[in-house]
Amino acid sequence: MEVKENTISILVNNRPDVLARIAGTFSGRGFNIESISANITRNPEITRIVITTLGNRETVIKLEKQLTKIIDVLEVKDLTRANAACREMVLVRMKLTDANQVKIMQTVDTLKWKIVKMDVDTCILEVTGGKKDIDDALAFLDKMGMDDFTRTGVVAVERQK
Amino acid sequence: MKLTGAQVLFEALQKENADTIFGFPGGAVLDIFDELYRRKIRNILVRHEQGAIHAADGYARVSGKVGVCLVTSGPGATNTVTGIANAFMDSIPVVVLTGQVATSLIGGDAFQEVDITGITRPCTKHNFLVRRIDDLGRIVREAFHIARSGRPGPVLIDIPKDITKSLIEDNDISWTLSLPNNNKKASIEDACAKALDMIRQAERPLVISGGGVLLGRAWDELRTFVKLLNVPITSTLMGLGAFPASDPHWLGMPGMHGTYYANMAISNCDLLIALGVRFDDRVTSKLDAFAPHAKVLHVDIDPASIDKFVKTHLSIASDCKPVLQLLNKWISDKSFARPEKQTKAWLEQVQKWKEFAPLTYCQSDKIKPQYVVETLYRLTEGKAIISTEVGQNQMWAAQYYHFDYPNSFITSGGLGTMGYGFPAAIGAQVARPDKVVVDIAGDGSIQMNIQELATAVNYDLPVKIVILNNGFLGMVRQWQELFYGKRYSHSNIDNVPDFVKLAEAYGAVGLRATRSEEVEATLRKGLDTPKTVVMDFHVEPEEGVYPMVSPGAALTDMVLSK
Ligand SMILES: Cc1ncc(C[n+]2csc(CCOP(=O)(O)OP(=O)(O)O)c2C)c(N)n1
Ligand SMILES: [Mg+2]
């Protein structure tokens, strides 16, 4: 069966050890967490965790069943096939030189990226988008003198409940 | 009125009707033990914390109640880990109370500090670290609820020392559970109707029942179901006793050391009705050769057990009891009938397999371990509670003590823990003082928790230990014989120690038999002695457990004898 990236949304009670339980379920069942993002929901006692992981459909279903068994897990949803909006964000620190500056600023403009901080010889850019957008942006910026970056996990929300 | 944390703990235990605990003290739990000193609740003081957790587990298995175990922080807590994993694998409801260093010291590598909630996270159903005294009462109640509800399992509560000492106004204690309600119970009616159709259409149906039937207390329903349908049934190691072994419908245990006829029935049935089983690899062996002609109907309370390895055609994620009740109701309705001819042909085929290769062994002058178990069965009229250690002894007990009664066989099925049987027998005897409780042991395993002889003697528990002493880590030896060219690497343990003297040193009674004709008299004497008795049977050293399906082979690929 085909191995692909799966996006799983998990609603949990906001307790100190709940992330450890979830991480343990992934590793204990042989899965790797490719990306993760977590924060509170409208109800601050409940946290939404969105995790992406590689696996085929069948094994991911098994994983979801195991996650559902965790006492503090309230809901597990596979967003891979749901009609969900998925975004990531990356902050990129660029070295600015006479050679790259114009090109970078033009791209920021056309692609509607943001400049978060600007110094004489460095700047920090913010890019949000789908996974592919971010991959492309990073590939481009790497060639343009990227110094470092930090990339978030996927955040995702379904179009409809 | 103000209560200490220790007092709140005992109030909570009382609310859960826990009247017995298995414990061992230490610094972090001194306040709890001090409170225990004033309480009516019974503590069985063990000699090693592994003994406490296994005893609580054995207690739970025969009583149907939640077993409770109480130990100190650090080494006390880590000593329970094997037993927690054991209870987890076999879905046994136990609550483990561990002491912890004071809240202010947590995280600082304090004396006897260990992150026990971290260590046990993957082998508990849930665990708690109590951070505030306000939460203690609620947490204890939640722990019991989690341990016994759904698929049961062990729950650990880690209680920092300062919390056991601090005070709370009794009106401020919250006893109300605040658990997410994950038990969205779907109706089983539609699925049961489909199940009935599958049963109606099947020509060669077979029931396979497991530990879930015992945990769900559905043995009466199971018996009715099999009788109404007139179908053969096999039960896994964990399910022994749910259906009477003496009933002609029963085929014995399936799997690696299962009977020829159970494995043949699985391999030839066209409908496998799986009730409360999780298809362990010791049962299925080679997966793609398991029940190759069958549609699988799987009933299990844990959705994660369904389609884990064996693909089902119809699954019902439910307790077995309501499903069987509904099916029985519909089946007993006159309009349901399976074609008589088919039923007869299938049962005749199964009977032929039974006659072709019954469970047997060769008698000799040397004591045969199977003979010891068989004689024990005869002398106790099958009414004893039997626990086992792990290895050949466990398989011979399962094969030759024919279990007719539920909750009379307690064994470490999932984890295969040597050293489980004796402390578990202690727990069983505490739960059922009226019963004969026998640990069928190996000479290797019994040494792993032999210190509990002191506990048994101390509390006048007349537990019997039947050691099938082959001078070997026998199951290891058997694998080395079959798969490693008879190179007996480190599996010889040569009849040391002298178990009779050892028993006597602990104040128990020690008996020995070395020849076949002594077996019955020795067992009689041991059973008639109302004390803790160790019976040391020097058995044929190189006897093997048969039939055997080689690991990874198809179930039909059985070696029937040496
Ligand atoms: C704690 C633990 N360690 C190791 C094993 C591996 N093991 C399985 S059976 C066995 C031999 C047990 O020897 P004994 O108790 O004498 O039983 P026998 O097979 O001889 O009846 C061993 C070492 C185990 N199951 N549990
Ligand atoms: Mg042995």
B161 classed as catalytic: yes
Decide if A71 and B180 are in contact by the 8 Å CB cutoff: yes
Which among B46, B47, B45, B35 has a CA at the least distance from the CA of B4? B35
pLDDT of residue B182: 56
Find the chain B residues whose C-beta atoms sit closer than 8 A to any C-beta of A: 117-118, 121-122, 125-126, 129, 146, 179-180, 182, 302-304, 307-308
pLDDT of residue B471: 98
At B412 the three-state DSSP class reads coil
Q: What is the number of the ligand 1 atom nearest to the C-alpha of B468?
A: 21
pLDDT of residue B179: 86
Could you report how far apart the first and last alpha carbons of chain B are, in Å?
71
Minimal-distance CA residue to ligand 1 atom 3: B418
Buried b (16+ CB within 10 A) or exposed e, B3-19: bbbbbbbbbbbeebebe
Which among B298, B229, B292 has a CA at the least distance from the CA of B265? B292
Task: Please check whether residue B467 is in contact with residue B495, taking contact to mean a CB–CB distance below 8 angstroms.
Answer: no
B65 vs B186: CA distance, rounded Å = 27
Which among B361, B284, B291 has a CA at the least distance from the CA of B551? B284
Q: Which one of B118, B182, B303 has the shortest CB-CB distance to A65?
A: B303
Task: Please check whether residue B399 is in contact with residue B388, taking contact to mean a CB–CB distance below 8 angstroms.
Answer: no
B518 classed as catalytic: no
**Residue A122 forms contact with B (CB below 8 Å):** no
pTM: 0.96
Reading chain B (562 residues) residue by residue, the pLDDT tens digits are 999 999 999 999 999 999 999 999 999 999 999 999 999 999 999 999 999 999 999 999 999 999 999 999 999 999 999 999 999 999 999 999 999 999 999 999 999 999 999 999 999 999 999 999 999 999 999 999 999 999 999 999 999 999 999 999 999 999 999 887 655 667 899 999 999 999 999 999 999 999 999 999 999 999 999 999 999 999 999 999 999 999 999 999 999 999 999 999 999 999 999 999 999 999 999 999 999 999 999 999 999 999 999 999 999 999 999 999 999 999 998 788 777 788 899 999 999 999 999 999 999 989 999 999 999 999 999 999 999 999 999 999 999 999 999 999 999 999 999 999 999 999 999 999 999 999 999 999 999 999 999 999 999 999 999 999 999 999 999 999 999 999 999 999 998 899 999 999 999 999 999 999 999 999 999 999 999 999 999 999 999 999 999 999 999 999 999 8
Residue A110: phi and psi, rounded to 5, are -65, -40
pLDDT of residue B180: 77
**Residue A69 forms contact with B (CB below 8 Å):** yes
- Of the listed B65, B125, B161, B321, which one is catalytic? B161
Task: Please check whether residue A153 is in contact with residue A88, taking contact to mean a CB–CB distance below 8 angstroms.
Answer: yes
Tens of pLDDT, residue by residue over A96-114, are: 999 999 999 999 999 999 9
Q: How many CB pairs under 8 A join A and B?
A: 32
Task: Please check whether residue B83 is in contact with residue B61, taking contact to mean a CB–CB distance below 8 angstroms.
Answer: no
**Residue A17 forms contact with B (CB below 8 Å):** yes
Chain B partners within 8 Å of A28 (Cβ):
122
B483 classed as catalytic: no
Q: What is the number of the ligand 1 atom nearest to the C-alpha of B478?
A: 19
At A151 the three-state DSSP class reads strand
Which among B8, B327, B303, B336 has a CA at the least distance from the CA of B170? B8
Beta-strand (E) ranges in B64-170?
67-71, 94-100, 126-129, 154-160, 167-169
Average pLDDT rounded to a whole number, residues A27-45: 95
Please give, rounded to a whole number of angstroms, the shortest distance from the CA of B53 to a CA of chain A: 22
Tens of pLDDT, residue by residue over A62-71, are: 999 999 999 9
Mean pLDDT of chain A: 94
Which among B425, B443, B418, B397 has a CA at the least distance from the CA of B539? B443
B391 C-beta closer than 6 A to ligand 1: yes
Q: Which one of A68, A71, A74 has the shortest CB-CB distance to B146?
A: A71
Residue of chain A with shortest Cα separation from B130: A16
Q: Chain centroid to CA B456: how far?
A: 20
- Of the listed B112, B336, B481, B520, which one is catalytic? B112
B189 vs B318: CA distance, rounded Å = 11
B292-297 long-range contacts (CB < 8 A, ≥24 apart) are B292/B267, B293/B204, B293/B267, B293/B268, B293/B269, B294/B206, B294/B266, B294/B269, B294/B270, B295/B198, B295/B202, B295/B270, B295/B271, B296/B272, B297/B195, B297/B198, B297/B199, B297/B271, B297/B272, B297/B273
B121 vs B119: CA distance, rounded Å = 6
Please give, rounded to a whole number of angstroms, the shortest distance from the CA of B19 to a CA of chain A: 27
Query: Which of B53, B82, B257, B390 to mutate for ligand 1's pocket (most ligand atoms within 8 Å of CB)?
Result: B390
pLDDT of residue B188: 95
B264 C-beta closer than 6 A to ligand 1: no
Please give, rounded to a whole number of angstroms, the shortest distance from the CA of B302 to a CA of chain A: 9
Tell me: pLDDT of A83 over 90: no
| The two three-digit tokens of residue B561, written as one number | 């004898």
Let me know if A38 is exposed, middle or buried by CB neighbors in 10 A (0-12, 13-18, 19+).
middle
**What is the value of ipTM here, to two decimals?**
0.92
Q: Are strands A84-95 and A146-151 parallel, antiparallel or unpaired?
A: antiparallel
User: Domain B2-172 maps to which CATH number in 3.40.50.970, 1.20.120.1200, 3.40.47.10, 2.130.10.10?
Assistant: 3.40.50.970
CATH architecture for segment(s) A4-78 = 2-Layer Sandwich (3.30)
Task: State which fold the A85-157 domain adopts.
Answer: Alpha-Beta Plaits (3.30.70)
B5 vs B12: CA distance, rounded Å = 10
A50 vs A125: CA distance, rounded Å = 24
Residue of chain B with shortest Cα separation from A71: B126
Q: Break chain A down into helix, strand, coil percent, rounded to 5.
A: 30, 45, 30
CATH class held by domain B369-546 = alpha beta
Tens of pLDDT, residue by residue over A53-64, are: 999 999 999 999
pLDDT of residue A93: 97
Determine the length of chain A.
Answer: 161
Task: Please check whether residue A53 is in contact with residue A5, taking contact to mean a CB–CB distance below 8 angstroms.
Answer: yes
The label of the residue with tokens 């024919």 reads B402
Decide if B125 and A28 are in contact by the 8 Å CB cutoff: no
Decide if B125 and A71 are in contact by the 8 Å CB cutoff: yes
pLDDT of residue B184: 62
Per-residue CA distances from A55 to A5, A6, A28, A66 (Å): 7, 7, 15, 15
CA angle B319, B324, B325 (to 5 degrees): 105
Task: Please check whether residue B222 is in contact with residue B214, taking contact to mean a CB–CB distance below 8 angstroms.
Answer: no
Question: Residue A11's beta-bridge partner residues?
Answer: A48, A75
**Do the domains A4-78 and A85-157 sit in the same CATH topology, yes or no?**
yes
So where are chain A's domains? 4-78, 85-157
Decide if A69 and B304 are in contact by the 8 Å CB cutoff: yes
Please give, rounded to a whole number of angstroms, the shortest distance from the CA of B99 to a CA of chain A: 19
Per-residue CA distances from B529 to B138, B461, B463, B511 (Å): 45, 11, 10, 11
pLDDT of residue B338: 79
Which among B412, B401, B469 has a CA at the least distance from the CA of B436? B401
CATH classification of B189-356 is 3.40.50.1220, yes or no? Answer: yes
- Of the listed B15, B111, B342, B363, which one is catalytic? B111
Residue of chain B with shortest Cα separation from A76: B182
Residue of chain A with shortest Cα separation from B124: A70
B531 CA to centre of ligand 1 in angstroms: 27
Chain A partners within 8 Å of B122 (Cβ):
24, 28
Chain A partners within 8 Å of B103 (Cβ):
none
Tell me: pLDDT of A41 over 60: yes
Decide if A68 and B182 are in contact by the 8 Å CB cutoff: yes
B491 C-beta closer than 6 A to ligand 1: no
So where are chain B's domains? 2-172, 189-356, 369-546
Q: Chain centroid to CA A15: how far?
A: 22
| The two three-digit tokens of residue B553, written as one number | 């082979």
Let me know if B314 is exposed, middle or buried by CB neighbors in 10 A (0-12, 13-18, 19+).
middle
Residue B316: phi and psi, rounded to 5, are -130, 110
Determine the length of chain B.
Answer: 562
In terms of DSSP H, where are the helices of B403-544? 421-431, 453-458, 474-483, 499-505, 519-528
The label of the residue with tokens 């809901």 reads A75
Q: What is the number of the ligand 1 atom nearest to the C-alpha of B474?
A: 20
**Do the domains B2-172 and B369-546 sit in the same CATH topology, yes or no?**
yes
Q: What is the number of the ligand 1 atom nearest to the C-alpha of B473?
A: 13
B465 C-beta closer than 6 A to ligand 1: no
